[in-house]
Amino acid sequence: MKKIHSLTGMIDLLGQKDNESSQSDKIFNTEKSLIKIFKNYSLNEIRTPALEDEQLFNRSVGESSDIVNKELYSFQDKNEKTISLRPEGTAGVVRSIIEKKLENDFHRLWYLGPMWRYERPQKGRYRQFNQAGVELLGYKEGLAELEMISMVISINAELNIKNPKIKINHLGDNESKESFCNDLKTFLEPHAKNLDKRDVDRLNKNPLRVLDSKSMDTQKVLKSAPKISDYISQDSLNMLETVKETFPNENIEIDHSLVRGLDYYTGFIFEAVSEDLGAQDAYLGGGRYDQLFEELGGKKLPAIGMAIGIERLAEISKNTSSRQTLISFMILSDKIQQKAYKIAHDLRSLNKDIVFEVSLGEGSLKSKLRRANKDKASYAIILGDEELASETILLKSLQEDNSDQKKLTLNEIKKFISSI
Ligand code: AMP
């Protein structure tokens, strides 16, 4: 029969004990490291549904953005309601806080989960990918900006990212953003014939996006275009300097051409990039979205957030191994399976820091040992008829420099396991 394949741009993740540097294991370990950091920064977890009313994304991420315009996975459900697989996490979080009427309080939140965008798959770009995110809700511009950048620095350190660069910019308030966009449009329109075709389209829908163009022709025209730094207030420029001064040992660059692909950002924005990633060089990005609560029908609530691309972060992370001692428990005779399993169950409960694998499959001792070696187990515990009758077990070291094997009483093996 014809085989069924996974959908384009959607990958399966499968952990392998014997290969901690596999893409899947790096992704799982990256997620664990991030959760540890989120807890250290005193954040609470929020989990919202993967499916939302399509309107939520039209009104937040914005109809002029590529994400909504071209990449949204939208369907009619059985009730003919148009629903979308979420392309990002912030809109759902904001919807949830408004729905629960929790806008009167401060919230420090994190989330983790799959997102979907119908993009052209390439290196570092999938149609289903995982994002972790942080949202600090209720906090005005100031300390919250520093807290976000501090978190980015902690992520870089914990995951041992080589030569990370943090780019920051300020889009000003709504008024300065609008006046800059108007002037940019007026300036660019007469140059339309020299711009990339896609940028002409962006110019009409959201002129800010033109700044992000990868086209050399467009960048040439932009050289003499109005600059956002001439439109934003001195306070906004000071905010950028404050971030740089607070973290003097970090590679933080003020980049006035930095814009984000989602429409809801106003004020301070940032991105972390790594040369190791190639063309898709950003592995996290975020910024302030002080208007979004009102735009989604809630009360005014200042907020700042970021989203971290797990696949991209895992790819450049040099520190994702979380190896624990692995013990493989082998039962050699069918007749003693239940009694032997009971011993395994008791031993396993003695030490929560070890990985204890009971070899459940059939096969000879030789094949079980081969498997344990492949999985890089440190010890094998072997139990056959003879051992069970004399209430002993065989402990065999599988470490490279040590192949000792000894008979231990049940009490001795209990002590040994507890001591690892
Ligand atoms: P964004 O929500 O567009 O600001 O993206 C935040 C981060 O998510 C990016 O910096 C990427 O690391 C990651 N990301 C966005 N789109 C994709 C994708 N299609 N595939 C993999 N990672 C992505």
**What's the CATH code of the domain at 112?**
3.30.930.10
Residues 375 and 245 in one domain: no
Contacts 24+ apart (CB under 8 A), 144-149: 144/304, 145/239, 145/242, 145/243, 145/268, 145/288, 145/304, 146/242, 146/243, 146/246, 147/41, 148/270, 148/286, 148/304, 148/305, 148/306, 149/243, 149/246, 149/247, 149/252, 149/270
Q: Which atom of ligand 1 is nearest to the CA of 310?
A: 12
Residues 236 and 370 in one domain: no
On whether residue 203 sits in a domain, the answer given is: no
Specify the 3-state DSSP secondary structure of 315: helix
Given ligand 1 and candidates 280, 289, 310, which is best to mutate, with the most ligand atoms within 8 Å of its CB?
280
On whether residue 9 sits in a domain, the answer given is: no
Residues 253 and 358 in one domain: no
The pLDDT, as a whole number, for residue 322 is 63
- Over the stretch 264-303, which tens digit does the pLDDT of each residue have? 898 999 999 999 998 889 999 999 999 999 999 999 999 9
Given ligand 1 and candidates 65, 284, 289, which is best to mutate, with the most ligand atoms within 8 Å of its CB?
284
Residues 261 and 336 in one domain: no
Given ligand 1 and candidates 125, 259, 277, 292, which is best to mutate, with the most ligand atoms within 8 Å of its CB?
125
The pLDDT, as a whole number, for residue 214 is 82
Give the binding-site residues of ligand 1, using a 6 Å CB cut-off.
88, 117, 119, 124-126, 129, 131, 260-261, 282-285, 307, 309, 311-312
On whether residue 187 sits in a domain, the answer given is: no
Domain boundary among 264, 297, 316: 316
On whether residue 208 sits in a domain, the answer given is: no
Domain boundary among 296, 316, 336: 316
Q: How far is the CA of 256 from the centre of ligand 1 (A)?
A: 21
Residues 366 and 247 in one domain: no
The pLDDT, as a whole number, for residue 401 is 87
Protein residue with least CA distance to atom 16, ligand 1: 125
Residues 136 and 280 in one domain: yes
CB atoms within 10 A of CB 25: 21
- CATH number assigned to the domain comprising residue 370: 3.40.50.800
On whether residue 272 sits in a domain, the answer given is: yes
- Residue 123 near residue 280 (C-beta atoms within 8 A): yes
The pLDDT, as a whole number, for residue 253 is 97
The pLDDT, as a whole number, for residue 62 is 85
Give the pTM.
0.88
Give burial (CB, 10 Å; 0-12/13-18/19+) of 284. Answer: buried
Residues 76 and 110 in one domain: yes
Q: How far is the CA of 309 from the centre of ligand 1 (A)?
A: 5
Domain boundary among 271, 288, 316: 316
The pLDDT, as a whole number, for residue 156 is 96
Residues 76 and 163 in one domain: yes
- CA of residue 406 relative to chain centroid, distance: 46
Residues 382 and 298 in one domain: no
pLDDT < 70 positions in the chain = 18, 20, 319-322
On whether residue 52 sits in a domain, the answer given is: yes
Q: State the residue range of the domain holding 45.
A: 23-172+232-316
Q: How many domains does the chain have?
A: 2
Q: Which atom of ligand 1 is nearest to the CA of 284?
A: 10
Residues 340 and 303 in one domain: no
User: Both tokens of residue 159?
Assistant: 């995951």
Residues 300 and 352 in one domain: no
On whether residue 195 sits in a domain, the answer given is: no
The pLDDT, as a whole number, for residue 174 is 82
The pLDDT, as a whole number, for residue 320 is 53
User: Both tokens of residue 346?
Assistant: 């008791």
Contacts 24+ apart (CB under 8 A), 118-122: 118/70, 118/71, 118/72, 118/73, 119/9, 119/71, 121/8, 121/9, 122/279, 122/280
Protein residue with least CA distance to atom 20, ligand 1: 125
Spatial distance between the Cα atoms of 377 and 310, rounded to a whole number of angstroms: 28
Q: Which atom of ligand 1 is nearest to the CA of 117?
A: 19
Residues 140 and 50 in one domain: yes
On whether residue 400 sits in a domain, the answer given is: yes
